[in-house]
Amino acid sequence: MIRFNDILEKVNPYLTNEDIADVTKAYAYSAKVHAGQKRYSGEPYMIHPMEVTSILADIRLDKESIITGLLHDTIEDTLATKEDISRIFGEEVCVLVDGVTKISKLKISSTFEKQAEDFRKLILATGKDIRVILVKLADRLHNIRTISHLPEERRRIFAKETVDLYAPLADRLGIYWIRTELEDKCFEVLKPNEFNEISNTFNAKKDEWEKYSGEVKSMLQAELDRFKLDAIVSTRFKNFYSIYRKMIKKNLEPDKVLDIKAFRIISKDISSCYAALGAVHSTWKPIPGRFKDYIALPKSNGYQSLHTTVIGPFGDKVEVQIRTEDMHEIAEYGVAAHWKYKIDSKERKKLIDLPDSVKNIFETQTLSDPREFIDAIKDELITDFVYVFTPKGELKELPIDSSVIDFAYSIHTDLGNKCAGARVNGSIVPFSYKLKSGDAIEIITNKDREPSKDWLKYVVSSKAKSKIRGSIKKIISKDSEKIGREILGKKLGKYGLDIQSTTVIEKLKEFAIDYEYKNLENLYINFSLSKVNIVEILNYFNLGIKTRNEEKVRNYLNPNNAIIVGGTNNVMVRTANCCRPIYGDEIIGFITLGKGISIHRISCKQILQVDSTRLIEAKWDNSHNVKSSTSLRLYCNDKTGILSEISNLIAKHESNIIKINAKKTTSSKSSIYIEILVKDAKHLYQITKGLESIPDVYSVERLLASSSEFNLFEKNSRL
C-alpha cells in the first residue's frame, strides 16, 4: 500500500522545503476530510488521491499540481468547499481542483451526442490549463488500474469512455505510456475474447521471442559498436491494443502481427541517430517505403524518431526506431516531459498553456453542434499524418487520407471555397485522390466555384468539414433570400406595392428593424421560411387589412395552432404526406425552402435522409382539439356485412370515416383502405385494437404514405 513518504521521496529532488511543507499540509487536510471513506475495493479512500499524486510526481509536475492531486476529490466527495480550498491553499490550487471536479462531475453518458457534449465541457472546464488535464489523466489512470472493483455494469461504460476520449487525449499530449496503459486495460474490459487471444498467443511465443530478440539485439549492438557508435539497443513490445488494431486494419492473425519484431536504438545525439540508421541499413536490407524520418519532420505532438523496417538476419521483418534520449523522453512523457527541466524558468506560463494541437479541438467553429464537434475531436485526435508541400516548398501536415480539398482549406478558406481541381506532382488528380507524403500540390481555382455537399465525401480534416458546411449554409440562405424576396414581391404586388420601388424597400427595411429581423436580407430569409406573417407586413403599410383576413391567414399558417415549432405556434406548418403525423405522435419539423415547416413523425424514413441542420424541434400544443386524418389498411375475409361491421365499430369510437375502399385480393380475401378522423394517437390505438378484435379481420396497419388528396385537417367527413 502506498505511503505518503513514497510521494515525498519522489518530489524531494525537485521541490523546495517550503513547497514540501505545503504538500504535507495538503496531505493532512485531504486525509482529514476523506477520513472514514472507502473505495469500491474496500481500501481507505485516501489511497486513491495518493496514487494519483504519485503518478504526477513521476512526471515531476509542479507543486500546485501535486497539491491538486491530493485534493482532487475533496470538493466533490467531502464536505470541503471551493472557498475552503481557496482560503487554505490559494486561488491557483483552487482553480485547478475546481477544474478537475467539473470534469469528474460530468455524468458518464452512453449516447454519442452526450459524450460529445461531455467532452466539450471537459475541455472548457480545464480553463485551458494543461495541468487540469494531466491531473485528470492520472486520476483516470488509477481508476482504470482498479477497474475490476467497479460494479460489472459500470465497468464497460467507464472503459468505453476512457478509450474514446481519455486515451486519444493522452495521445494528443504525447504521453505514450498513459495512452497505452489506458488502452490495454480498456481493451481487456471491452473485448475480453480478443484480448485473451492476443495475450495467449503472446505468452505462448514469449520464450521463443525472447531468445530470438536476445540474438538480434546482440547482433545489432555489435554492428553499432563496430561503427563506434555510442548507442544502446533495447527490445520493444507493442501494446496489445495496438496489435489488435493492426490485426483489424491488415486483417491478420495475432501471431502474424506478433511476428514483427521491434527494436529501439537510443543514441547520444541526432547525427549518431542517422549514423546508426546507416549501420542498420548496411547490415540488413531496408524494405522500401517503410522509412520515416520523424526527426526532420516531427509529429504535431512533438514526437521525434527514425522508423525503418528491414529484413532481419533470419529473413523476417524487423522494425527499428532510432532516437536520442531527449526524444525518447518526449515520446514517453509528451508535454509532461518539459516539466522536468523547465519548472523554474520563465517558460512556465507556456507549459501551462495547452498545446496548439489540443486547442485546435475547441477552436473549431462547430462547437454548437455536438455531432460535428465529436467528429472534429476524432479528426483532431488522429495520430497519423501525411506531409506534403505547397508550390512554394512549404511543408504542411495533414491527417492521413486527406484530399486536395483538405490541403486547399489548410492553406486558406478562400482557396478551399474556390477549389476547382489540383495538380499533384504535375498531374491533374480527382478529388478522390488521397495525398501521400512528399506530394507537391498546386490548387487550381475558379472564381465561380462554390463548395458542394459532395465535397464532404472527400475531406477528413475538421477544418475543411466545418468550412464546407459553413459555406453550404450560406448558399442555402442566399437561395432562401432570393425565394423570400420573390414570394413577398408577388404578395405585395397583389396590393399594388412594387418591391422594386425605393419607398417600399425603405418601408420593408424599417419593418425588418422594428420586428427584429435586423436587415432586409434576413427578413427575406425569414419570409421564405414562413416565419414572417404577411399580414403584419401589410399592416405596416397601413393598407387597412381587416382582422377577418388575418384570422384566415393565421388559420392557414398553423391550423388551430396545433403544432409548436421552435417554441412558437406562429409559423406556417403542414404535416408531411410521407408519414402523416397525428396528435400525440412524436414529431420533428423540417425547414423547407419557401414552403414553411413540414412536420414529420420522428420515425419517418424520409427525415433520416435530410440535412440535419434544417431540422427543428416540434411538439403538439396541449390545448389541441383538432381531429386529423389517418389511413389504415385492413386485411380481412371477404364476407357480406364486413364493411358495415367496420364502420359501426369506427362510429362507436366516435370517429368519422372520410373514405373507404375495398379491393378483392383473392377469391375469399380483400384489403380495405380506410381514411378516418382521429383525436390523437391514443384514440387511433383504441380504434386499431377494436378493428383487430373483429373475427374476420386479420391485420390492421397504419399507412405512412397517403393515397388520397384529402387535407389532413379537413373537418367535414365526406361520408
The helices-and-strands tally (H runs, E runs) of the chain is 31, 19
Taking the CA atoms of the chain, what radius of gyration do you get in angstroms? 34
Between the two ends of the chain, the Cα-to-Cα distance in Å is: 84
Contacts of 454 (CB under 8 A, 6+ apart): none
Q: Which is nearer to Mn ion, 139 or 375 (CB)?
A: 139
Scanning 71-79, 91-99, 248-256, 468-476 for contacts with Mn ion by CB under 5 A, the matching segment is 71-79
Binding to Mn ion, residues 215-274 (CB under 5 A): none
User: From start to end of 520-582, where are the E strands?
Assistant: 563-565, 573-575
CB of 71 to Mn ion, least distance (A): 10
Contacts of 139 (CB under 8 A, 6+ apart): 52, 72, 100, 104
What is the distance between the alpha carbons of residues 198 and 183, in angstroms, rounded to a whole number?
14
What is the helix (H) or strand (E) element at residue 84, kind and residue range?
helix 82-89
Q: Which is nearer to Mn ion, 178 or 229 (CB)?
A: 178
CB of 100 to Mn ion, least distance (A): 8
Q: Which is nearer to Mn ion, 104 or 308 (CB)?
A: 104
DSSP-based three-state secondary structure for 488: helix
**Catalytically annotated residue among 77, 84, 369, 521:** 77
Q: Which is nearer to Mn ion, 39 or 423 (CB)?
A: 39
Assign 3-class secondary structure to 13-26: CCCCHHHHHHHHHH
H-assigned helices in 251-335: 254-258, 270-283, 325-333
Scanning 135-143, 197-205, 243-251, 681-689 for contacts with Mn ion by CB under 5 A, the matching segment is 135-143
Annotated active-site residue 77? The verdict is yes
Nearest to 270 by CA among 297, 236, 301, 305: 305
CB of 186 to Mn ion, least distance (A): 17
Asked if 628 and 713 touch (Cβ cutoff 8 Å), the reply is yes
Q: Which is nearer to Mn ion, 73 or 164 (CB)?
A: 73
**Catalytically annotated residue among 9, 43, 58, 76:** 76
What is the maximum span of the chain, computed from C-alpha positions, in angstroms?
105
CB of 5 to Mn ion, least distance (A): 21
CB of 72 to Mn ion, least distance (A): 6
CB of 138 to Mn ion, least distance (A): 9
Scanning 73-81, 208-216, 452-460, 632-640 for contacts with Mn ion by CB under 5 A, the matching segment is 73-81
CB of 49 to Mn ion, least distance (A): 7
Nearest to 56 by CA among 2, 119, 128, 113: 2
Residue at shortest CB range from Mn ion: 139
Asked if 395 and 424 touch (Cβ cutoff 8 Å), the reply is no
Scanning 67-75, 272-280, 288-296, 325-333 for contacts with Mn ion by CB under 5 A, the matching segment is 67-75
What is the distance between the alpha carbons of residues 137 and 139, in angstroms, rounded to a whole number?
5
H-assigned helices in 568-637: 605-609
What is the distance between the alpha carbons of residues 307 and 289, in angstroms, rounded to a whole number?
11
Asked if 558 and 570 touch (Cβ cutoff 8 Å), the reply is yes
Binding to Mn ion, residues 311-370 (CB under 5 A): none
Q: How many CB atoms lie within 10 A of CB 477?
A: 17
Give me the half-sphere count of Cα atoms (radius 13 Å) on the Cβ side of residue 284: 23
What is the distance between the alpha carbons of residues 153 and 620, in angstroms, rounded to a whole number?
37
Scanning 25-33, 137-145, 428-436, 698-706 for contacts with Mn ion by CB under 5 A, the matching segment is 137-145
Scanning 138-146, 275-283, 293-301, 428-436 for contacts with Mn ion by CB under 5 A, the matching segment is 138-146
Q: Which is nearer to Mn ion, 105 or 206 (CB)?
A: 105
DSSP-based three-state secondary structure for 234: strand
What is the distance between the alpha carbons of residues 257 and 430, in angstroms, rounded to a whole number?
34
CB of 172 to Mn ion, least distance (A): 21
Scanning 136-144, 266-274, 448-456, 541-549 for contacts with Mn ion by CB under 5 A, the matching segment is 136-144
Kindly determine how many residues on this chain lie close enough to bind Mn ion according to the rule CB under 5 A.
2
Scanning 33-41, 72-80, 145-153, 489-497 for contacts with Mn ion by CB under 5 A, the matching segment is 72-80
Q: Which is nearer to Mn ion, 139 or 380 (CB)?
A: 139
Sign of the CA dihedral with 163 first, then 166, 169, and 174 last: negative
What is the distance between the alpha carbons of residues 639 and 635, in angstroms, rounded to a whole number?
12
The single residue listed with the C-alpha cell 425588418 is 512
Scanning 24-32, 65-73, 338-346, 631-639 for contacts with Mn ion by CB under 5 A, the matching segment is 65-73
Strand partners, 442: 423
Residues across the chain:
719
Site string for Mn ion, 168-197 (x = CB under 5 A): ------------------------------
Annotated active-site residue 230? The verdict is no
Residue type at 463 in one-letter notation:
K
Q: Which is nearer to Mn ion, 73 or 181 (CB)?
A: 73
Nearest to 48 by CA among 100, 122, 13, 87: 100
Selected from 62, 73, 161, 181, the binder of Mn ion by CB under 5 A is 73
What is the distance between the alpha carbons of residues 72 and 226, in angstroms, rounded to a whole number?
53
CB of 139 to Mn ion, least distance (A): 4
Q: Which is nearer to Mn ion, 27 or 373 (CB)?
A: 27
Asked if 326 and 309 touch (Cβ cutoff 8 Å), the reply is no
Q: Which is nearer to Mn ion, 85 or 275 (CB)?
A: 85
Q: Which is nearer to Mn ion, 62 or 139 (CB)?
A: 139
Q: Which is nearer to Mn ion, 100 or 229 (CB)?
A: 100
Determine, following the binding rule CB under 5 A, whether residue 129 of this chain makes contact with Mn ion: no
H-assigned helices in 146-251: 152-161, 167-172, 176-190, 192-226, 240-250
Selected from 22, 129, 139, 194, the binder of Mn ion by CB under 5 A is 139
CB of 166 to Mn ion, least distance (A): 13
CB of 165 to Mn ion, least distance (A): 16
The single residue listed with the C-alpha cell 541499413 is 281
CB of 107 to Mn ion, least distance (A): 15
What is the distance between the alpha carbons of residues 458 and 40, in angstroms, rounded to a whole number?
48
Annotated catalytic residues are 76-77
Write out the residues near Mn ion by the rule CB under 5 A.
73, 139
